[in-house]
Amino acid sequence: MSTDMHTPMIVARGLRKQYRGKPALDGVDFTLQPGRIVGLIGPNGAGKTTALKAILGLTRFEGELQVLGHDPRSGRDALMNDVCFIADVAVLPRWMKVREAIDFVAGVHPRFDRARCLAMLAATKLNMDMRVKQMSKGMIVQLHLALVMAIDARLLVLDEPTLGLDILYRKQFYQQLLEDYFDEGKTIVITTHQVEEIEHILTDVLFIRDGRIVLDSPMESLGERYCEVLVGAEQLAAARALGPIEERAFPFGKTVLLFDNADRQQLAALGEIRNPGLADLFVASMKGTYA
């Protein structure tokens, strides 16, 4: 599968979309490169699904958008040769048999590799005549994964893919995605609001809030830009004077303060410094949206 490793997968400039007069996307800009796993993270109603629909050519929008060199508004058919879209795993019809699911995907996606799908299913307890309604949640995940991973797409779009699954199956889903599917010629875009479980696989993160991107960063840069300091009551006033973007109480009378581009030497004099988790950055970025 030939792909230029230096040509962006997706370039969005000034994306706008309104529903009933309210902006779902409000001037969104971002660029996604090949060989990246990107988390598009935001609360419900923030614009995640609208952004995905624009990328997939499923909704009209204003602004500029190039996906694998195509405008999704006019080049959707060509685009779909190289794109695979999966919504949450609950979408497989309950009456469907395994063989019918395979036939369906083979019929709609030109890059589906039936032999690869069958090889993946051979490692499970699934058989061809089993219906979705007879399967455990774990089995449904296995079927879903086998169908997705047998599609040799350059762009894989996952919209809340593990909704309603136990944590064990969620971890299994992402682990297998990483081990059996991903390579440097592909890009995976995942939307979720369950930040912790995808933090370890992401290379890049986009936080979206009220239709706007509020954070756009490679994961490795977050540790350089943000830091937390854990301080006791006697150092709290001095730490607050340095302008934290968020603070939260900690046991034993201590407080954790989150800083953006602060002087680490100054902070180190006040308490214990550490790198914030993605979930803590998310909460700080979304302050007020859940009010």
In the chain, the amino acid numbered 109 is: H
Residue 225's pLDDT band, with cuts at 50, 70 and 90, is very high
pLDDT tens digit sequence for 41-63: 998 888 998 999 999 999 999 99
Q: CB–CB of 99/129 below 8 Å?
A: yes
Please report where in the chains the tokens 């019918």 appear, as a residue: 100
Predicted local distance difference test score (pLDDT) of residue 288: 58
Is the per-residue pLDDT at 3 higher than 90? Answer: no
The whole-model pTM stands at: 0.86
Q: What is the mean pLDDT of the chain?
A: 89
Q: Identical fold at 10-210 and 222-285?
A: no
Q: How far apart are the first and last CA of the chain?
A: 47
All structural domains of the chain with their residue ranges: 10-210, 222-285
CB atoms closer than 10 angstroms to residue 230: 16
Q: Is 244 helix (H, G, I), strand (E, B) or coil?
A: coil
CATH topology assigned to domain 222-285? Alpha-Beta Plaits (3.30.70)
Predicted local distance difference test score (pLDDT) of residue 162: 79
Segment 145-169 shows an average pLDDT of: 84
- What is the DSSP secondary-structure string of 120-170? HHHTSS--TT-BGGGS-HHHHHHHHHHHHHTB--SEEEEESTTTT--HHHH
Range with the poorest average pLDDT among 98-107, 183-192, 202-211: 183-192
The CATH code for residues 10-210 is 3.40.50.300
E-only strand ranges, the chain: 10-19, 22-32, 37-41, 62-67, 83-86, 155-159, 187-192, 204-209, 212-218, 226-231, 246-250, 254-260, 272-274
Is the per-residue pLDDT at 156 higher than 80? Answer: yes
Is the per-residue pLDDT at 72 higher than 90? Answer: yes
Q: What are 53-60's contacts with CB under 8 Å, separation 24+?
A: 54/12, 54/15, 54/17, 54/25, 55/10, 55/157, 55/189, 56/83, 56/85, 56/157, 59/17, 60/17
Residues 6+ apart with CB under 8 A from 126: 98, 135, 139, 142, 143
Residue 144's pLDDT band, with cuts at 50, 70 and 90, is confident
Looking at per-residue pLDDT, the higher value among 287 and 14 belongs to 14
Predicted local distance difference test score (pLDDT) of residue 290: 43
% of the chain residues with pLDDT over 70? 95
pLDDT tens digit sequence for 249-274: 999 999 999 999 999 999 999 999 99
pLDDT tens digit sequence for 170-187: 888 888 888 878 888 899
Residue 77's pLDDT band, with cuts at 50, 70 and 90, is confident
pLDDT tens digit sequence for 88-139: 655 678 899 999 999 998 988 888 999 999 998 998 899 999 999 999 888 8
Predicted local distance difference test score (pLDDT) of residue 286: 86
CB atoms closer than 10 angstroms to residue 90: 15
